Amino acid sequence: MGSQHTQLIQAFKKVIPPLLFDAHKGEAGRIGVVGGSEEYTGAPIFASMAAFRTGADLVHVFCTSSAAIPIKSFSPDLIVHPILDSTSFSDDMNKWLPRLHALVIGPGLGRDKMILSNVEHLIGVLRKQEKPIPLVIDADGLHLITEKPDLIKNYENCILTPNAIEFERLFEKVTGMKSKDQEKEKDKAHLAQNLADTMRVNILMKGHLDTIASPDSSQLIHCGIDGSPRRCGGQGDLLAGALVAAYYWTVKNQDKIGNQSSNADKSPKTIDQQSSTSKLTPAQVAGYAASTLIRTSCQAIFSKLGRSMISADVLKEIGPTFNKLFEK
């Protein structure tokens, strides 16, 4: 691995909450997962359990009434609120928001109009907070943002996690241009920076290389660590869960990342082109750490199980992989 990989890993290590006997429950993160519908109960489970396995203390799942029992039945560790399709969602959610440190919106959300309306209202409430809490938007949450990009513009503590197709749709909606017409495929990553600058949010564009871009950053972060060629469902949800826990830590402890002043040249550069004194954002550090964690976990499980690997197997590997990457 290069020096920049080491720089990013070391930066993340500095924000990981220490394991102390006098610590209090919740100090390492109280995470909210907004998603889970009649058709999709696995996605919020994967995201929630990945947040747990990464190191969050408590995870609340805000799902529809029909999804609550399947999610509750998976693990007694999950705190499940069947309010996502409720007419009193806003009032119910307002009771819990002060207790949460970070949110991920989208896993298993579905596209029911009433549910999306409730989520739209939730994002509006989050925006009105004096300091908006870290927010990750994935899956069908991205569908809502593509339909209404202004919902999330200028939300400084937000990471959008589109795959290639989701990115193309969002890019075209926001810029009026098709991403595939703008640059050659090898340069497509720079469009993530374009979108981050335009929307004023962070972008983690998933693909063969995961690309992390922050507004006005002088660099693009790429994670190209080998994962698994097995593309079973749920891996994106695992990334979203790991990311929201990591993002809370980096935002909370961003003064520990050890940034120096940014270079005068603001033109986008890959991390391999950037000096070790570059300014890193919390989203870049968290995004690289989470991508590395899930890719390496997938790699380890695939080496054992091959084609039969499923995302439930990867969950079991997150803890040991986290220890190897970040605890030594």
Report yes or no: 197 and 278 within 8 Å, Cβ to Cβ: no
Considering the domain 3-14+27-256+278-327 in this protein, what is its CATH number?
3.40.1190.20
Q: Each residue of 296-312: pLDDT tens digit?
A: 999 999 999 999 999 99
Q: Given this model, what pLDDT does residue 113 score? A: 97
**124 appears as a binding residue in the annotation:** no
Q: Each residue of 201-249: pLDDT tens digit?
A: 999 999 999 999 999 998 899 999 999 999 999 999 999 999 999 999 9
Domain ranges for the chain, please list them.
Answer: 3-14+27-256+278-327
Quick one: angle between helices 189-199 and 164-175, nearest 10?
Answer: 50
**141 appears as a binding residue in the annotation:** no
**235 appears as a binding residue in the annotation:** yes
Query: What sign has the CA pseudo-torsion 76, 78, 84, 88?
Result: positive
**164 appears as a binding residue in the annotation:** yes
Q: For residue 209, what is the DSSP state?
A: S
**227 appears as a binding residue in the annotation:** yes
**206 appears as a binding residue in the annotation:** yes
What is the distance between the alpha carbons of residues 123 and 162, in angstroms, rounded to a whole number? 18
CA angle 222, 314, 84 (to 5 degrees): 90
Res 166 pLDDT > 70: yes
Question: pTM for the full model?
Answer: 0.93
Mean pLDDT of 153-165: 96
**317 appears as a binding residue in the annotation:** no
**195 appears as a binding residue in the annotation:** no
Q: Given this model, what pLDDT does residue 184 score? A: 56
Q: Given this model, what pLDDT does residue 1 score? A: 59
Q: Each residue of 77-102: pLDDT tens digit?
A: 999 999 999 999 999 999 999 999 99
Q: Each residue of 255-287: pLDDT tens digit?
A: 999 664 333 344 444 444 444 446 899 999 999
**99 appears as a binding residue in the annotation:** no
